[in-house]
Amino acid sequence: MIIDLNETTVSTVARKLVSVREEGGAVALGRVLTLIIKSDHRPVEEAILAANDASREHPMRVIVLVTHPDDAPRLDAQIRVGGDAGASEVVVLRAHGAAGSNPESLVTGLLLPDAPVVLWWPETPPAAPALDPLGRIAQRRITDSSTSPEAADRLQRLDETYRPGDTDLAWTRLTRWREQLAAVLDQPPYEPVTAVQVRGASSSPSTALLAAWLGLALDVPVSWQYERPSDWDQGIHSVRLTRASGDILLERRSSTHAVLTQPGQPDHDLLLPRRSLRECLAEELRRLDPDPLYGRVITTGWDELPAPVQTHGTAAVPTETVTVAGDAADDA
């Protein structure tokens, strides 16, 4: 069910939520958190659909705040419940002009009492998420460095502004890669890794984060390379681990499959699909405390990474500028 409330107020929306639950017999007792989705101007239907899917694992209230600062002052709202909201209840607020000047006041009256708050910017986040007016009321703050091609220094900015509770979906997309690599190193021979090479598309910040994690976890030199879109444009391409007995190569051959090559063993075909937005969001909502590993990777691991190189065919050319932002569809 979808209910539109045009030129309304937050208190009117709150009262309508209560009446909808009473009339429909629904209760909010099973909601475990409030998810705030913040956007400027842009439609957020993809984000709402991902939240609806994730709500089947994490029942929640979703508050979507879309601001239109250049318009005349007005607040429009939409309430979605039942089949239009998955296992959540969705409140979409469209704040026009001065009505959106104080975002915290718009959402405070709609938060679930005594429930954690998670804030998600599906597109461009503020310069310092933890210092944002909405960020200050959230236990977790989710960004996505893959969605801002205009910000070439996005990972550097995440490093400089990191606070416990921050996370980024470019990191979440690495889970399957990290699992596969950890499983390989958990098998004999138990030799130390002496060098690491990571390659991926220039539009994939996950490539840089994977390199930072491997350097931090293995304490070895890591080289990372960006490939031209004409050579590879599907996120992370490969990871090569060098050991005394020979190299281990995990190489993605398509958007869904990879090949694992190890010394003295036949090649193994692996299913390694890209993770959907719903999967990444659901994983982030499983923990409402800070992620200390991400914190170490985006700060210490990132700071210790050497500059990347840009490949041109078979040659690798050093690059001074770290450009690690692009379209999320081209990420890990």
Are 9 and 146 contained in the same domain?
Answer: yes
Domain annotation covers residue 117? yes
Are 144 and 187 contained in the same domain?
Answer: no
Contact 213, 155 (CB under 8 A): no
Are 188 and 148 contained in the same domain?
Answer: no
Query: Which of 168, 186, 209 is where one domain is finished?
Result: 168
Compute CA distances 111 → 6, 89, 164, whole Å.
21, 12, 22
Q: Which 3 state secondary structure label does DSSP give 10?
A: helix
- Torsion over CA: 111, 117, 119, 120 (sign): negative
Are 318 and 212 contained in the same domain?
Answer: yes
Are 155 and 188 contained in the same domain?
Answer: no
Domain annotation covers residue 287? no
Are 139 and 60 contained in the same domain?
Answer: yes
Domain annotation covers residue 126? yes
Domain annotation covers residue 285? no
Residue with tokens 């709500």: 55
The reported pLDDT for the residue numbered 323 is: 39
d(CA 132, CA 93): 18
The reported pLDDT for the residue numbered 313 is: 52
Q: Which H helix or E strand runs over 20? A: helix 10-24
Q: How much is the pTM?
A: 0.90
Are 214 and 86 contained in the same domain?
Answer: no
Query: Which of 115, 138, 168 is where one domain is finished?
Result: 168
Q: Which 3 state secondary structure label does DSSP give 169?
A: helix
Are 149 and 7 contained in the same domain?
Answer: yes
Domain annotation covers residue 282? no
The reported pLDDT for the residue numbered 154 is: 86
The reported pLDDT for the residue numbered 25 is: 58
Q: CA dihedral defined by 120, 276, 285, 328, rounded to 10 degrees?
A: -30
Domain annotation covers residue 113? yes
The reported pLDDT for the residue numbered 31 is: 82
Are 141 and 213 contained in the same domain?
Answer: no
Domain annotation covers residue 288? no
In tens digits, the chain (332 residues) has pLDDT values of 899 999 999 999 999 988 887 776 555 557 889 999 999 877 789 999 999 999 988 899 999 999 998 899 999 999 998 876 777 889 999 999 999 999 999 999 999 999 999 999 998 889 999 999 999 999 999 999 988 665 558 899 999 999 999 999 999 999 999 999 999 999 999 999 999 999 998 888 999 999 999 999 999 999 999 888 778 878 899 999 999 999 999 999 988 999 999 999 999 999 999 899 999 999 999 999 999 999 999 999 999 999 888 765 544 544 443 434 344 445 67
Domain annotation covers residue 221? yes
| CB-CB neighbours of 45 under 10 Å | 10
How many separate domains does the chain show?
2
Are 236 and 304 contained in the same domain?
Answer: yes
What is the Rg, in whole angstroms, of the alpha carbon atoms belonging to the chain? 22
Are 157 and 60 contained in the same domain?
Answer: yes
Q: Which 3 state secondary structure label does DSSP give 33?
A: strand
Are 193 and 159 contained in the same domain?
Answer: no
Query: Which of 113, 148, 168 is where one domain is finished?
Result: 168
Residue 204: half-sphere exposure toward Cβ, Cα within 13 Å? 32
Domain residue limits at 162: 2-168
Residues 6+ apart with CB under 8 A from 56: 86, 87
